[in-house]
Amino acid sequence: MIEVTTKDNCLVCTLKDVLDETTRLNISAAQLHNKKIQLVGSNIKSWNTDFVVTLFNALKDVPKENLSYSHLPEGMEQLLRLAFQAPHHEPTNPRPKLPFLDSVGEGGIRFCRCVKKGCGFIHDCLSAWGRQLTGKAVYRSKDFWMILADCGPKSILIVSLISFMVGLILAFVGAIQLKTFGAQIYVASLVTIGMTRIMGAVMTGVIMAGRTGASYAATIGTMQVNEELDALQTMGISRTDFLVLPRMNALLLAMPILILLADFMGILGGCFVCVSFWDIPLSEYIKYTVNSFYMNHFLVGVFHGIVFGWIIALCGCYFGVHCGRNADSVGAATTKAVVYSIVWMIVTTGLLTVVFQWLGV
């Protein structure tokens, strides 16, 4: 049983012959208010951790400085002190509402800090590339090949499937419109130009952002939680060289090949629609496809893919390196990596489209 007595404005909890986990501590909130509590052990022959949990749940709202222990078993006292070491409830201090100009200024400062941090990370990545060219970068080649296998061959199936469906959709939509003019034969040209110039690169980029970029952020973020990044820094190994550089190299190498595959599968999807549903001869589809295939369109798509690969690798590795140290932070870093990768790819696509249009490419 547990006896609770009051002495000199101090609650004295006497623990006698501690029972099993069904024991409950019955102390009202009024008794705990602004009083010091002394836990006194008396004839404690056996105890278990369930009883310690019972005590903690009953006294969790008491500040640790108001608790004292007397004649408790050594193990019980250590567990109780450890349990009450950290506050049970995080202090809630609502941020004061700032005036409009102050909030705008604070937002501007945060934005500048984020830009500075991002530019610093890009500078570190470019420096790592420079060290690689001079043979001074520190990373394992087997890591590069493993990462390349993950973002290359293992992505073939999903990229092929999505690209085939995109080509199929382009052919359906284009044929419905061109049929009104009796020009559905030009669906082959539409699908070929659309896939090779931009759609193949964009769809591949979106797929790789959701698959590989999220993987980069989750992997490096988990290493941050496990303090492996701190271990690398302690050993004097550059995190950018060891973790970021092989991932960037692997994705930059895999993207052009995946885009070539996406272009082919998209054209194949258009061919399936035209031959199966619009009664266009296969030979005519191939003829118009070949006539519409221009090397500048293909190179523009490959260039988009290389830029997208760099963006995906940067976003994934950046949010992984700057991840917090708990599971929620890893999830948030993974989400941010995918979202920011897709957003920056769309923004970059718009800018590159304007530039190439201005250059006449």
> pLDDT (tens digit, 9 = 90+) per residue, 71-90?
777 777 777 777 777 655 55
| pTM for this entry | 0.71
What the block records as the tokens of 55 is 């005590």
Name the packing angle between helices 156-179 and 245-277 (round to 10°). Answer: 40
CA 66/CA 54 separation, integer angstroms: 18
Residue with tokens 């970059």: 348
DSSP 49-67: HHHHHHHHHHHTTS-GGGE
Domain boundaries, the chain: 2-83, 117-359
Ramachandran bin of 165, using left for φ above 0, alpha for ψ from -120 to 50, beta for the remaining angles: alpha
What is the pLDDT at residue 17? 41
| Residue 15 bridge partners (DSSP) | 2, 41
The DSSP call for residue 83 is H
CA 240/CA 219 separation, integer angstroms: 14
What is the pLDDT at residue 112? 92
* Structure confidence by residue, pLDDT tens digits, 124-138: 899 988 888 888 888
DSSP 3-state of 16: strand
* Structure confidence by residue, pLDDT tens digits, 9-48: 444 455 544 443 334 444 554 455 566 777 777 666 677 7
What the block records as the tokens of 265 is 């599968």
